[in-house]
Structure 1
Amino acid sequence: MTPGTEAPTTEPATPGPPQGSVSLEATLPLRSDTQTGGTVKAVVHPLQSSASEGLSVLTVEFAGPADLAQNTSAFMGVFMGSLAGTLPIGFRVFDPSTGTAAHPLGIGDSWAAESDKFELFPGQTTTLTLGFPPVGAASIFVMVPGFDVVEVPVVQAAVAQMPGSAATWAASTEKSGSFAPIESWAMSLVTKSTVEVAGDQVLVELPADVLFAFNKSELSKKAQKVVDKAGHKIAEAAAESGEITVVGHTDDQGDDASNDRLSKARAESVAARLRPVLGSSFTVKTAGKGSREPKVEGTSEEARAANRRVEITFTGRSANKLVVVEDVPTELPATAGVVVQGTETAHLPSDGMNPELEARMLSLRRVGGQLVGVLEIAAPTEKARTTMLFGDSSETTGVISERGFSFASIANVSLLTPTTRVFPADFKVDVQGKSEHRLLGSSGDWVLPHVNGPFRYVLVWPDVDPSATTVTVDAPEGYRFLDVPIR
């Protein structure tokens, strides 16, 4: 330094996000009252985890447009689902190495979630902190509602090093929540059989009305072929040996003794047909539950039809455990919805529920053993009026409602083949002592797109065919995307 001169002054550097953070951008609705939308940036930090203190913490920073004319209106409601900011409905983490997923931890009647601000202000950052069960993997996938799924590193750290209320959450005696198996489910368009997969446990359900005449237990010739197809599929997917259980169920009509006999006899008929197909390495057991374990509450004909069923459970070993009992159609079922190719925009006409809308699959890719798609819905003329955004038909309404999803749910949006409909993956969480299904992707469909603020919905399906290069995505009777490329 030359004598007589002063050292230059430097401003302290603003600390950037931690190494391993992932940045995202999306156009979101910011103010519904003025139809304001804008590009929001999200930075997802590495997950900090402490097994000894039963907690991991996720930090996400959001920054809105620098030229935002006014602060947003309840921006965190997009992610938290409550004006009080206490219900983090959208965020999930999932671990492909264990095939499990988790929702933010419960803390008594609330959740391990907090935000330093509930709105976005021009030139400022809003930070969201969420508590999850501890993670032992080297990385984890994070579902960021309105954006996408990203993979971030997992850093083992003491709770004292974690931000926000981590220490309070860790010390709480009312902390609840854990990782649960990711569940896959699908339906045959031909036989109406369904399958549910949770970890290695597989449940195949055959509707009794497909198999038996009224009040009978003898399999028709057509039903025999259905059971044979089920047997061959199970033999491919099941462990090389083991126990397979066949359980019959009836509806609530008739007395208990008669229903018990009928359900047991139907289970025996199915089991007798399965045994020669499966071979001697499997033990097939049967039971009849009568009407004691209804799948659907109520006495309507639809509810009773759903309750008349035969359930086959087993432990699976193959990568694809979705045992769908199908037939041989070669064409997709007809639809009253708008049909487009690949990532083209589906222009949806106005109806009594919503104005004209536009739907488009922005992306579809393989992520951690799943297929992750991003669906964007825009409102070119006026704000959408209702959450009827994802198609609906009587075919899917009954199936998704049995898992606890409403008829207007994004759970309708499925992968479609000529014989099969594969629904979005989900997992179970405990909510105030009650077990409920949560979609692995977006579940907060109450955010309505408007003129300057389209909204992105993240969908996660099981990767049924890892060799496929395209799939068809279908919102029943709403819109259908043919041959969407998997990138």
Structure 2
Amino acid sequence: MPARPAGAVSVEAPMPLDWSTDLGGTLKAWVHPVQSSAADGLSLLTVELERPADGGAPSSGFMINFTSTGGSTAPSGFNLFDAASGTVAQPLKLTDGWAATSDVDVIEAGGSLTISVAFPPLTAASVFVTVPGFDMVEVPVTQEASTAWPDIAKEWAAAPEKVGAFVGAESSAVSLVTQSTVEVAGDQVLVELPADVLFAFNKSNLSSKAQKVVDKAGRKIAEAAAASGEITVVGHTDDQGDASSNMTLSKARAESVADRLRPILGSTFVVKTEGRGSKEPKVQGTSEDARAANRRVEITFTGRSANKLVVVDDVPTELPETLGAVVTGMETARTDAHVLNPELDARVVSLRRVGGQLVGVLEIAAPTTRASSGLLFGDATRTLGNMAKRGWGSFSIANVTLLTPTTRVFPVDFRPEADTYPHERRVLGSQIPEMLPVPGGPHRYVIVWPDVDPSATTVTVDAPDAYRFLDVPIS
């Protein structure tokens, strides 16, 4: 095997297995420095996987991180994160598929497998790479022409159309007390207050309780917002009633919130209001849950503080109840058998601060029998509440959250093709593989959360009604 370039980083993990074997073992990944060429419009990630000479049967277990559709190889969970700019990219799409390949499909005992994945070009000196099944690692970035790259990378560089770009990483959280939500994209902050918390049916005057909620929002916004500037308050209604009445009601509700905010924010801020009636629903459908999510007041502003997750909470309470297993730190949590799954073991392998984020590695194992698919990560409806409009499904790793008595913080995500698919989000980390572990062969998931409290030494990691890890130490 040729010498690896300087700056290559190695990381180990249990070897994912095939359905055909219960063979265990360790897999080592060598992540090479990312090679970038602005002239060719891409950067190249190379990852070598090594397997010890254990004498076992060949394994294609790692290839669960690739899916093939119509001859196109789609890499799942490989991302580049530029911490300096707060941006992230998924692999490039070409006219005939994804810019990703591997030299072989199985790893023989004592053998290796090399993966090549193309991303948009970048200028940073280093970049963080999420390697599914392993971890997130930082490697150098080298600027060089593609003439010395492998032939497949030269073909990608010459491709007439390459779709992809580095886009802003986004953070979000929900208050367990007021059900308010917050989403942060770069310096732009969107705080959403459910109308049902603020107003009686078809009314626009704030109750005394609602006034306290808005006051809390105002104080949090004043701390997080730029020293001066524009703050916009927008009212939305559901689809009940005629368009004219809904427009009037939404405008009146926005004015009520703005009038309460202005004395708290002070004269350096310009608070503007809009009413959009039922024209911009966040959730499609006419169910009461959908309509409740659509009745809302949105407050947008430019943030300046390091922590822009403005959660409108209340006095601390106990952690919400869970039906799942509860353990402390990095102990193993065993979930009971489910109609779709046997019992499963879960543990937090590591949790550390990386590039201004918290990066966790979660390991899932099936201790007794083969597992297919199941509700590994909790029930999306219960987990997300109003955030269900984000579109995460029950199987999403996005349901594994950081939990406090008042707040649930979701994994960092991004919008890879915001212009074409404005509502599509992807997590910065592992995607869910189609195949779950078999006995003796756990699978690891990489999860990235915003570092809400840089002074914290422990956090609670929670997948609702599946498992909860209390006081997980941050290394």
TM-score w.r.t. the length of structure 1 is: 0.94
Q: Is residue 175 from structure 1 mapped to residue 141 from structure 2 by the alignment?
A: no
Query: Paired residue for 2:443?
Result: 455
Query: Paired residue for 2:472?
Result: 484
CA deviations on 1:402-421 (whole Å, 9 max, x unpaired) are 22211221111100011000
Q: Is residue 113 from structure 1 mapped to residue 117 from structure 2 by the alignment?
A: no
Query: Paired residue for 1:266?
Result: 253
- Taking the TM superposition and a 5 Å limit, the aligned residue runs for 1:224-373 are 224-373=211-360
Q: Are the equivalent residues in 1 in contact too, given 2:371–2:437 (CA < 8 A)?
A: yes
User: Aligned with 2:342: secondary structure?
Assistant: coil
Unpaired runs of 5+ in structure 2?
A: none
Q: CA deviation at 1:384?
A: 1.8
Query: Paired residue for 1:56?
Result: 43
Q: Are the equivalent residues in 1 in contact too, given 2:381–2:388 (CA < 8 A)?
A: no
Tell me whether 188-197 or 442-451 shows the greater mean CA deviation: 442-451
Query: Paired residue for 1:7?
Result: none
1:444 partner letter: I
Counterpart of 1:184 (choices 162, 171, 185) is 171
Q: Are the equivalent residues in 2 in contact too, given 1:393–1:477 (CA < 8 A)?
A: no
Q: CA deviation at 1:431?
A: 8.5
Return structure 1 stretches of 4+ with deviation > 6 angstroms. none
Q: Are the equivalent residues in 1 in contact too, given 2:380–2:393 (CA < 8 A)?
A: no
Query: Paired residue for 2:16?
Result: 29
User: Aligned with 2:43: secondary structure?
Assistant: strand
Q: CA deviation at 1:354?
A: 1.4
* CA RMSD, 1 decimal: 1.5
Query: Paired residue for 1:38?
Result: 25
User: Aligned with 1:285: secondary structure?
Assistant: strand
User: Aligned with 1:81: secondary structure?
Assistant: strand
Larger radius of gyration: 1
Query: Paired residue for 1:8?
Result: none
Q: CA deviation at 1:160?
A: 0.9
CA deviations on 1:362-414 (whole Å, 9 max, x unpaired) are 11000000000011111110122314111226332444542221122111110
Q: CA deviation at 1:32?
A: 1.2
Q: CA deviation at 1:297?
A: 0.6
Partners in 2 of 1:198 and 1:279 — Cα distance? 25
1:251 partner letter: D
Q: Are the equivalent residues in 1 in contact too, given 2:65–2:433 (CA < 8 A)?
A: no
Tell me whether 389-398 or 373-382 shows the greater mean CA deviation: 389-398
Partners in 1 of 2:57 and 2:410 — Cα distance? 40
Q: Are the equivalent residues in 1 in contact too, given 2:351–2:361 (CA < 8 A)?
A: yes
Distance 1:231 1:445, change over 3 A: farther
Q: Are the equivalent residues in 2 in contact too, given 1:387–1:408 (CA < 8 A)?
A: yes
Q: Is residue 79 from structure 1 mapped to residue 70 from structure 2 by the alignment?
A: no
2:241 partner letter: G
Query: Paired residue for 1:469?
Result: 457
Partners in 1 of 2:238 and 2:412 — Cα distance? 28
Counterpart of 2:145 (choices 158, 175, 178) is 158
Q: CA deviation at 1:168?
A: 1.8
User: How many residue pairs are counted as aligned between the two chains?
Assistant: 473
Unpaired runs of 5+ in structure 1?
A: 1-13
Q: CA deviation at 1:482?
A: 0.5
1:453 partner letter: G
Q: CA deviation at 1:81?
A: 2.6
CA deviations on 1:323-375 (whole Å, 9 max, x unpaired) are 00000023211212111111111121212221111110011000000000011
